[in-house]
Amino acid sequence: MSYVKEFRDKVLSGEALTKEEALLLYDQDLMELREKADEIRRHFCANRFDLCTIVNGKSGRCSENCKFCAQSAHNHTGAACYPLLPEEELVRQARVNWEQGVPRYSIVTSGKRLTDGEVEEMCKAIQRIRREVGISVCVSFGLLDEAQYRRLKEAGVTRVHNNLETSRRNFPNICTTHTFEDKIKAIRAAQAAGLSVCSGGIMGLGETPEDRIDMALTLRELGIQSVPINLLNPILGTPLGEQPKLPRQELERIVAVYRFLLPKAFIRLAGGRGLLGDQGRGCFLSGANAAISGDMLTTAGISVETDHKMLKQLGYEVGFYHG
């Protein structure tokens, strides 16, 4: 029996799927699942597409032991190590991205959290970017507190990124130097400071379908409307360096189920998109309506020009959207 149409109708009527329903949905025919997920996307989000780029604002020597990360000091990957990028370089890269038609620019830094002094340095750069370039600025500065987030908001930040990475159950299998609750606390602090939050996770860490659904339900409880879905890019030197890569069809299934569970969200293809072969096109027809363009933190991505061409072919309208 197919539950896809029944659950699509439930979502379109404004009802939320339960965990049990999502687990049933996960095993349904992929083509039908993708088709109905895209119907939900068009109903709630039309053809709006949120495109962003990221810059590696501080690299390497991270104290945390996340098993997937090239920048962890616990792993030996040969990733570049450097302190905060100079203000001039951050402004320059913001301008380049703005001129390429990218509406949102995210500064990402390694480490558990930035210090107050580092936050102040970043605030000066962000103020210049907002004043001289105009591009919307998102930051990923680790597990900050509400006061630090308020300072960043005053400087012109519109959104904070902080991935859950995986489910509460699976999190200790991926990282032990901070907790799932630490993540939740930081997300709520950013929200209390009046910032929107971008949060999602990585698929292919050894999680189960139930873990994937549990993470989506946590994001729903938190009211997250920008949800990056990363595909693990196994990096030699990390504990997950030889982890099998998820096939493209599995990521399309995950995206589609997430659209049923988070019908109004911007579901964002992020790291690992270049591994898919079709550059994410199948996922953009399965409910995804956002992406990180350009290079990732330590791996190559897909050029902004290439993404603009593909999104135009698919009928999407790239713009700045709050979520």
pLDDT by 10s per residue, the chain, length 323: 679 999 999 999 999 999 999 999 999 999 999 999 999 999 999 999 999 999 999 987 899 899 999 888 888 877 788 999 999 999 999 999 999 889 999 999 999 999 999 999 999 999 999 999 989 999 999 999 999 999 999 999 999 999 999 999 999 999 999 999 999 999 999 999 999 999 999 999 999 999 999 999 999 999 999 999 999 998 888 999 899 999 999 999 999 999 999 999 999 999 889 899 899 999 999 999 999 998 655 555 688 899 999 999 999 998 766 64
φ, ψ dihedrals at 149, nearest 5°: -65, -35
For residue 171, the model assigns a pLDDT of 98
> 55 lies in a domain?
yes
Answer for the pair 276, 235: CB distance below 8 angstroms, yes or no.
no
Give 138's contacts (C-beta < 8 A, 6+ positions apart). Answer: 52, 104, 105, 106, 107, 157, 158, 159, 160, 161, 198
Residue 157 CA to chain centroid, in angstroms?
Answer: 17
Six token digits for residue 241 = 């360096």
> Count of domains in the chain?
1
For residue 150, the enclosing domain spans 16-319
> 9 lies in a domain?
no
The angle formed by the CA atoms of residues 278, 163 and 142, to the nearest 5 degrees, is: 130
Answer for the pair 293, 102: CB distance below 8 angstroms, yes or no.
yes
**Extended strands (E) in the chain:** 48-58, 104-109, 136-140, 157-161, 196-198, 201-203, 226-231, 266-269, 290-293, 317-319
> 2 lies in a domain?
no
Task: For residues 67 and 176, give the distance between their C-alpha atoms in angstroms, rounded to a whole number.
Answer: 10
Neighbouring CB atoms inside 10 A of 27's CB total 11
Answer for the pair 125, 157: CB distance below 8 angstroms, yes or no.
no
> 6 lies in a domain?
no
> 3 lies in a domain?
no
> 68 lies in a domain?
yes
For residue 118, the model assigns a pLDDT of 97
State the CATH number of the domain containing residue 44: 3.20.20.70
> 10 lies in a domain?
no
Task: For residues 181 and 233, give the distance between their C-alpha atoms in angstroms, rounded to a whole number.
Answer: 25
